[in-house]
Amino acid sequence: MSPALLPLLVIVPLLSAALLAVARHVEVLRRAVLLGVSAFALVFGTVLCFTSWDGVVTAHAVGLWPSGIAIPFVADMFSALMITVTALLTLLCSMFAIVSGDDRRPYFSALVLMLSAGVYGALLTGDLFNLFVFIEVMLLPSYGLIAVLGGRDRLPAGRLYVAMNLLTSTIFVAGVGLVYGTAGTVNIAELAGAAAESPAVAAAASVPLIALSVKAAVVPVHGWLTSTYPATSPALTALFSGLHTKVAVYAIYRIYAVVFDGGTAYTGLVLLVLSLTMLVGVFGAVGQESMRSILVFNMVSGIGYILLGVALFGPLGLMAGIFYLVHHMIVKASLLLSTGAVEVSYGTGRLGSVGGIARTEPLIAAAFMGSALSLAGIPPFSGFVGKVAIVKAAVDEQQIAIAVVAVVVSLFSLMSVLRIWRGVFWGRAHEDEVHAVSARRPGALLTHAPPALALPGLVLTVVTLGIGLGGQGLLVLSEQAAAGLLDVSGYIEAVIGS
């Protein structure tokens, strides 16, 4: 693919968002554009995966400015993989939102497209300041979405969400200033290895890393995530869980690998923090009383697993981390969409206030159970491969304690999702629920959730099963992505030479 096509991934969603902001009352157009653009990004990402095969890096100097001045857009296997998965999630969450009625809210489609443009831009850019700009492009529509959708807690949640993100963005941009002041450039390729050589650059570059860790919801700065995500609509929680924290994780991987060259000075401290992230997340999940709170706490725990990859570094660690990242994005979105389907159809997500969903909604129950087992790491789902790879990487680096924590946390995360199973899917349907459903839609049987609502979650469950059975496929892709992070010469050559 010609490198000059890379900016299309940002331009197309942005222009479509502008179009939909104007033509927002034409329902057919709105839905067609929303799904069409995400499908386009999915195809684009898949093509990028093919062109990035075997360490080929595609780079384009936006605006054809000379290199060093231009903002580079860079696609290697890691970013191509991320783009593909985010596009898939955006597509399925948009389908869910169309069925659940969220897309009838003013500007919903335009905001989602704008958000996805920011995500693709952040995944492609090779410039720290431009990364800040694209993260803001991603966040501003999210502020709007969180204030428009959701229950009565959405306003306090929106305030907290904006305040937290603005604070971290401010810290991030100040850190970019410090990097520029110490290294004289914010081009990631030109910064390669700079932090490993100069302590001043390392101190400066750690400021953006810390800001990104807050955005990724690493314990002890995870509180914003668990108190805002459950307050929005289910479709939005699934979308945000797939995109926001994961963009931060991607940026941490990229900056740490290229700028710090994978230095090991603080590995012990980082491993301690990540173990706490896994433990606190999963213990929080066990104690929650609604489906979405449980899943959101599990997400915090998952962030710990994902970042273990970059903390352990090395070919195996990075490969395991990237594999787990992809797996986690898919599985988490699947779980949130399945439980979201229940929530949308029955009007509540509290454990024990609905029951017998397994009998009345077999499709949703199957999708949920598959992904729940995958989250806990039970074969033949992708979670098993991901967790084995993480544990093996930890053992290879002689971090036995980390391996033990990872296994123990898996057991507790199984327990937390089984609580959802017992509290919502198992048991008998509540009499008053039956009445409530038939009162809302007279003549409807208890089924109640249209199959189209169950479909997005089911598709993702099939994907996680596929990745689990054919684990080698994604492992090879992750291995190549990890190789691109370990040996950054191809990345640098593509950017500086473009």
User: In terms of CB distance, is 169 or 348 closer to other proteins?
Assistant: 169
- Contacting residues toward other proteins, per CB under 8 A: 129, 132-133, 136, 140, 143-144, 147, 152-153, 155-156, 158-160, 162-163, 166-167, 169-171, 173-174, 176-178, 180-181
User: In terms of CB distance, is 43 or 155 closer to other proteins?
Assistant: 155
Distance CA 340, CA 345 (A): 8
Nearest distance, CB of residue 162 and other proteins, angstroms: 6
Amino acid at 399: Q
Nearest distance, CB of residue 146 and other proteins, angstroms: 10
Distance CA 151, CA 51 (A): 44
Distance CA 325, CA 134 (A): 21
Nearest distance, CB of residue 82 and other proteins, angstroms: 24
Taking the CB of residue 63, how many other CB atoms lie within 10 A of it?
9
What are the backbone dihedrals phi and psi of residue 60, each rounded to the nearest 5 degrees, phi first?
-135, 130
- Cβ(250)–Cβ(125) below 8 Å: no
Nearest distance, CB of residue 178 and other proteins, angstroms: 7
Distance CA 114, CA 135 (A): 11
User: In terms of CB distance, is 29 or 171 closer to other proteins?
Assistant: 171
Task: Answer positive or negative: Cα dihedral of 472, 476, 478, 483.
Answer: positive
CA distances, 134 to each of 42, 126, 225, 255, 498 (Å): 19, 11, 20, 16, 21
User: In terms of CB distance, is 144 or 471 closer to other proteins?
Assistant: 144
User: In terms of CB distance, is 107 or 129 closer to other proteins?
Assistant: 129
Nearest distance, CB of residue 228 and other proteins, angstroms: 12
Nearest distance, CB of residue 496 and other proteins, angstroms: 18
User: In terms of CB distance, is 121 or 262 closer to other proteins?
Assistant: 121
User: In terms of CB distance, is 170 or 489 closer to other proteins?
Assistant: 170
Interacting residues of 48 by C-beta distance below 8 A, sequence separation 6+: 1, 58, 75, 79, 80, 83, 84
Find where tokens 């945000």 sit: 240
Nearest distance, CB of residue 176 and other proteins, angstroms: 7
Q: DSSP label at 102?
A: G
Distance CA 397, CA 89 (A): 33
